[in-house]
Structure 1
Amino acid sequence: MPPTVRPLTPAALAALVVAAAAERLGEARERGVAVRVGVDGALAADTGPLADLVADHALATGVGALRVRARDFLHRRSVRLEHGPADVDAAYERAVDWAALQREVLEPLGDPARLTWLPRLRDPDTDRAAREPVRTAGPGALLVVDGPYLLRWELTGDLDVVVHLQTSDAALRRRVPDGDPAPGAWARYVGETAPAERADLVVRAEHPDRPALVTPG
């Protein structure tokens, strides 16, 4: 059977993501860890607002929410743009410092002996270290991290709930300037990792203000 596609408002989608995470909160509190939620999508303009809504909805329901953006963990500009701003492979492999995101956020929030997190590593506008202090979270806190490629193999096991935003190549190319590597990098990611098959929630996001939940047939 073909999949079912159900239109939602962004607020209703955020509530669904929080509900999916809530199923893991009891166990997380018992273990003394956080629940790590990822909002995975090609463009920060899509993932950021949804992740903010998820964090706001969690706070409204009495769950402590922590907010992290992959774009605040970029490599230095000299590293990520070494081969030019249009290089597709560099956009996928070298834009975000995934090891730092794991080391400073994802892994310690899953470790009851640590339960710490760093809000930002680098300012994406100034390219300077953010110099944020490391913070401590409470057991059962809800981390919401957004960005592209969150279901890449290097992060396997580092996120507890992931919502994947599906965006077609045509829709991406309409929204980014000519020469932007995002469509090519996203196509490589989808081809290599099959994120829609591994995400907890899959959402069609051709128009970010009109998401639609995809349920397998």
Structure 2
Amino acid sequence: MRVRSTTPDPLAAELSEALLDAPGRPWSRVAVDGHPLTGTGELADSLAEQLRLRGRHVLRVRLWDYVRPASLRLERGRENPDSFRFDWFDFEGLTREVLTPLTPGGSGLVLPALWDPELDRSPRLERVRLTEGGVAVLDGPFLLGGGLELDFTVHLWMSEKVLVRRVGAEQEWQLPAFTEYQREARPDLLADRLVRMDRPERPVVVDSLE
């Protein structure tokens, strides 16, 4: 295994350069996948800012704004790990409103958020037109291995031991969902970039698993 340590800002800059070096396409759909404690939201925000500094039109999308209505996501109870993994997030809505419009020949019109989980209703946002060469930067859990069409993916990995130590008591019930996701989907093997985040202030980029 070949690894190297870095810090958050250089990591975001490195990822932005890797994305810009990729073959040209009308738009790019980027996903930062992992448990929230790995810092998916923070890295996605930093990556978006780096891309804007390089002249790209960027739209941030958060999977937590694509949850399903409470009547559906909580149908099997409020603390069901299987429900959390398979029922909470509206991946069909994400595909329809974000990923498909950014395919070649698509409209380029993206809905930033589909559902407000606090109010349990649609936020009624207007669609945003992403200009050609623009990038949608998505973050959240369970984004890999489920058939989502993505152009560049980053998986932030944190060991189960560290997760158990850091997670709050109110989220402990979610841990089996992340364990099963790691075992079944193997996002560490699917992602274009793998970063170990046992110490989020000192990310470790995995250049090779061999």
What is the CA–CA distance in structure 1 between the aligned matches of 2:46 and 2:175, rounded to whole Å?
A: 25
| Pairwise CA distance, 1:112 | 2.3
Q: Which amino acid aligns with 1:89?
A: D
- Residues 180-214 of structure 1: CA deviation (Å, up to 9, x unaligned): 33321111111111111111100001122221101
Matched residue type, 2:203: P
SS at match of 1:75: coil
Aligned residues: 208
Match of 1:21 in 2: 19
Contact 2:44/2:139 (<8 A) preserved: yes
Map 1:100-119 → 2, pairs under 5 A: 100-119=93-112
Spell out, residue by residue over 1:50-75, the C-alpha distance to the aligned partner (whole angstroms, 9 max, x if none): 00000001111111111100000001
In the alignment, which of 108, 116, 122 is matched to residue 115 of structure 2? 122
Q: Which amino acid aligns with 1:168?
A: S
Return the alpha-carbon distance in structure 2 between the equivalents of residues 193 and 176 of structure 1: 22
Looking at structure 2, the residues matched to 180 and 99 of structure 1 have their Cα atoms a distance apart, in angstroms, of 27
SS class of match (1:55): helix
Which residue of 128, 140, 145 maps to 2:133?
A: 140
Compute the RMSD of aligned alpha carbons: 1.5
SS of 1:100's partner is helix
2 CA distance for matches of 1:166 and 1:61?
Answer: 27
| TM-score, structure 1 as length reference | 0.90
Matched, 1:89 2:89: no
Contact 1:38 1:146 in 2 (8 A): yes
SS in 1 for 2:198: coil
* Match 1:34 to one of 27, 36, 42: 27
Question: Which one of 142, 154, 157 corresponds to residue 163 of structure 1?
Answer: 154
In 2 relative to 1, CA 163–136 (structure 1 residues): closer, same or farther, beyond 3 Å?
same
Alignment counterpart, residue 67 of structure 1, candidates 57, 60, 63? 60
* Counterpart for residue 187 of structure 2: 195
Shift of 1:154: 2.8
Deviations 1:93-152 (A, max 9, x none): 011100000000011111324111000111122222110111211111011000001113
Distance 1:98 1:53 in 2: 24
- Give the corresponding residue for 1:182: 174
> Aligned letter for 1:175?
R
AA paired with 2:6? L
Deviation, structure 1 residue 77: 1.6
Quickly say closer, same or farther: Cα 1:83–1:151, change in 2 above 3 A.
Answer: same
Q: Is the 8 A contact 1:42 1:182 kept in 2?
A: no
C-alpha displacement of 1:45 = 6.4
Q: Distance in 2 between matches of 1:117 and 1:109?
A: 8
Rate the CA distance shift 1:144–1:208 in 2: closer, same or farther, 3 A: same
For the residue of structure 1 that corresponds to 2:147, the secondary structure is helix
TM-score (norm 2): 0.93
- Alignment CA distance shift 1:208-1:12 (3 Å): same
For 2:199 and 2:63, the matched residues in 1 are separated by 22
Q: Residues of 2 paired with 1:44 and 1:139: CA distance?
A: 33
Percent identity of the aligned residues? Answer: 37
